[in-house]
């Protein structure tokens, strides 16, 4: 006789009923877990922005980024989580890796191999962020119906415009982070073939502005629009006047330093306004960072110091000393390859 236990004939129906009873309970637990995670992840992002030490912040954003992506793997269709993942990737790429790449390109062009490694890392992060933002938008049935399986590159500008017309204010974060990640990739890669897609990035940016200009702490769409109009020459669709308007609006709305740094880098440098370039960057370096936006302002000051230290790369002038504050900021690389001039002694 087998030693296997014989289940009573009434046991199977009870087990089925128990399983059915537990199913909504498990779903409720999962829902509570997701609902509980969102404020934790949001608070992590807010805490990241208040961190004054960029070295600590870089480690924190990497950990938070991978945590968000782990939650997204569990809830792959949650728009809010997808937008968080897209934002984390964009912030990591722009605030840290792309900034390091810019430092090498501007001040240490001889370190080409290291720059190529950084470029690959930037592009990978922007590509991941773009993918998360696209997935968030594809949760909108109207947008998904127009785009289908073709991918954004295959769409005409008119088709993309029709897809964007299906969106509402709640879709603005995904539109913005798609534009940010896609545009950041183009600016990093400097590929003429990829640059043909810039009108689509511009369309995404103007759509984000129209849907909700307050995305990313009230500065995102205007700051991105200012950068897009500023870094391109007028022949390629750039417009210094529009760039200044959007960057000034971003500064007025968010009271942070980065719009002024981008104005110096993309507008004053390209329009040969040396005095405005210098005084704007010096004012940023001298300002006190906002405690609740300490990281954004500190990164802006690091960028301002590097641009000012390499002023002779933008204008027909000699290298000049930088404010003492610059030497107390945590730069990953020396401000310039050659030693900086010593400041003149005070009289």
195-220 pLDDT, tens per residue? 889 999 999 999 999 999 999 999 99
Question: Residue 185: inside a domain, yes or no?
Answer: yes
Q: What is the mean pLDDT of residues 210-232?
A: 96
Q: Among 164, 183, 216, which residue terminates a domain?
A: 216
How much is the average pLDDT of 149-153?
93
Task: Tell me, yes or no, whether 179 and 319 share the same domain.
Answer: no
Confidence at residue 192, expressed as pLDDT on a 0 to 100 scale: 82
Give the pLDDT band (50/70/90) at residue 20. very low
Integer Cα distance of 233 and 206 in angstroms: 19
Domain boundary among the residues 216, 249, 282 is at 216
Q: Are residues 122 and 203 in the same domain?
A: yes
- In this prediction, what percent of the chain has a pLDDT beyond 90? 78
Which residue among 216, 251, 286 closes a domain?
216
Kindly state whether residues 148 and 45 are assigned to the same domain. Answer: yes
> What pLDDT, on a 0 to 100 scale, did the predictor assign at position 28?
41
Q: Tell me if 42 is assigned to some domain.
A: yes
pLDDT at 248 over 70: yes
Per the model's pLDDT, the better-predicted residue between 277 and 26 turns out to be 277
Compute the Cα dihedral for 270, 271, 273, 277 and give only its sign.
Answer: negative
- Cα–Cα distance list, 331 to 108, 184, 304, 311 (Å): 13, 22, 11, 17
**Do residues 190 and 245 both lie within one domain?**
no
pLDDT band at 275 (very low <50, low <70, confident <90, very high): very high
Top pLDDT among 68 and 236 is at 68
Cα gap 82→68, rounded to integer Å: 9
The mean pLDDT of the chain is 89
Helices (H) then strands (E): counts for the chain: 15, 0
**Are both 188 and 74 inside the same structural domain?**
yes
Q: What is the mean pLDDT of residues 38-53?
A: 82
Same domain, 208 and 321: no
What percent of the chain is helix, strand and coil (3-state, nearest 5)? 75, 0, 25
What is residue 338's predicted lDDT score, i.e. its pLDDT?
87
219-256 b/e (C-beta count within 10 Å ≥ 16 → b) = bbbbbbbbbbbbbbeeeeebebeebbebbebbbebbeb
Asked whether residue 29 is domain-assigned, the answer is no
Q: How much of the chain, in percent, has pLDDT values that exceed 70?
A: 89
pLDDT at 30: 52
Task: Tell me, yes or no, whether 191 and 247 share the same domain.
Answer: no
In a domain, 3, yes or no: no
Q: Are residues 188 and 320 in the same domain?
A: no
Residue 305 falls inside a structural domain: yes
Q: Is the pLDDT of residue 193 over 90?
A: no
Which domain does 281 fall in, by range? 240-333
191 and 102 within one domain: yes
Domain-located, residue 154: yes
Q: Is 323 in contact with 282 (CB distance < 8 Å)? A: yes
The CATH number covering residue 81 comes to: 1.25.40.920
What is the pLDDT, as a whole number, of residue 19?
Answer: 47
The pLDDT assigned to 345 comes to 56
Is 146 a member of any domain?
A: yes
Tokens 């087998």 correspond to what residue? 2
What pLDDT shows up at residue 233?
85
Q: Within a domain: residue 231?
A: no
- Does residue 113 sit in the same domain as residue 151? yes
164 and 99 in a common domain: yes
Number of domains the chain contains? 2
54 and 198 in a common domain: yes
């Amino acid at each position: 006789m087998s030693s296997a236990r014989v289940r009573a004939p009434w046991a199977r129906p009870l087990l089925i009923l128990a399983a059915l009873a537990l199913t909504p309970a498990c779903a409720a637990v999962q829902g509570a877990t997701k609902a509980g995670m969102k404020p934790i992840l949001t608070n992590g992002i807010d805490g990241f922005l208040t961190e004054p030490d960029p070295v600590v912040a870089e480690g924190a954003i990497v950990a938070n980024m991978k945590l968000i992506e782990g939650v997204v793997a569990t809830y792959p269709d949650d728009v809010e989580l997808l937008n968080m993942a897209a934002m984390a990737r964009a912030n990591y790429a722009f605030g840290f890796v792309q900034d390091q790449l810019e430092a090498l390109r501007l001040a240490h062009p001889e370190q080409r191999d290291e720059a190529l490694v950084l470029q690959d890392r930037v592009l990978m992060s922007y590509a991941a962020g773009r993918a998360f933002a696209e997935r968030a938008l594809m949760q909108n049935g109207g947008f998904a119906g127009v785009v289908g399986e073709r991918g954004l590159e295959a769409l005409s500008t008119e088709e993309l415009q029709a897809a964007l017309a299906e969106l509402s204010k709640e879709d603005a974060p995904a539109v913005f982070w798609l534009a940010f990640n896609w545009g950041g990739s183009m600016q990093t890669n400097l590929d003429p073939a990829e640059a043909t897609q810039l009108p689509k990035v511009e369309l995404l940016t103007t759509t984000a502005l129209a849907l909700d200009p307050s995305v990313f702490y009230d500065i995102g769409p205007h700051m991105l629009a200012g950068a897009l109009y500023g870094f391109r020459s007028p022949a390629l669709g750039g417009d210094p006047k529009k760039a200044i308007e959007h960057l000034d609006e971003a500064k007025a709305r968010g009271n942070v330093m980065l719009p002024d740094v981008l104005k110096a880098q993309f507008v004053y440098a390209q329009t040969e306004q040396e005095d405005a370039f210098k005084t704007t960057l010096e004012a940023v370096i001298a300002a006190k960072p906002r405690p609740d936006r300490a990281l954004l302002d500190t990164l802006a000051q690091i960028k301002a110091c590097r641009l000012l230290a390499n002023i002779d790369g933008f204008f027909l002038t000699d290298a000049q000393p930088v404010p003492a504050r610059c030497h107390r900021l945590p730069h990953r690389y020396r401000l310039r390859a050659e030693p900086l001039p010593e400041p003149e002694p005070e009289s």
